[in-house]
């Protein structure tokens, strides 16, 4: 179950990452930093 949650957070992180790349007109640097910190904390 813990492994599943880790993969789930990885998927959410990458979806958010590519979503922000697609929306180049809307750059959310604070949100990306928050997701980056969450990603590092999970790793």
Query: How high does pLDDT run on average in the chain?
Result: 70
Two structure tokens written together for 19: 């979503």
Buried b (16+ CB within 10 A) or exposed e, 28-39: eeeeeeebeeeb
Residues listed for the chain: 43
Domain ranges of the chain: 2-29+37-42
Kindly report, residue by residue over 23-43, the tens digit of the pLDDT.
665 555 555 666 666 666 665
pLDDT of residue 27: 52
Identify the pLDDT of residue 39.
63
Q: Identify whether the C-beta of residue 35 lies closer than 8 Å to the C-beta of residue 17.
A: yes
Q: So what's the pLDDT on residue 20?
A: 73
27 vs 32: CA distance, rounded Å: 9
For helices 2-22 and 29-42, the axis angle rounded to 10 degrees is 160
pLDDT digits (tens, 9 = 90+) for 5-29: 778 888 888 888 887 766 665 555 5
């Amino acid at each position: 179950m813990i492994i599943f949650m880790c993969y789930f957070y990885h998927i959410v992180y990458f979806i958010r990452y590519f979503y922000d790349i697609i929306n180049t007109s809307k750059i959310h640097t604070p949100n990306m930093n928050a997701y980056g910190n969450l990603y590092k904390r999970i790793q």
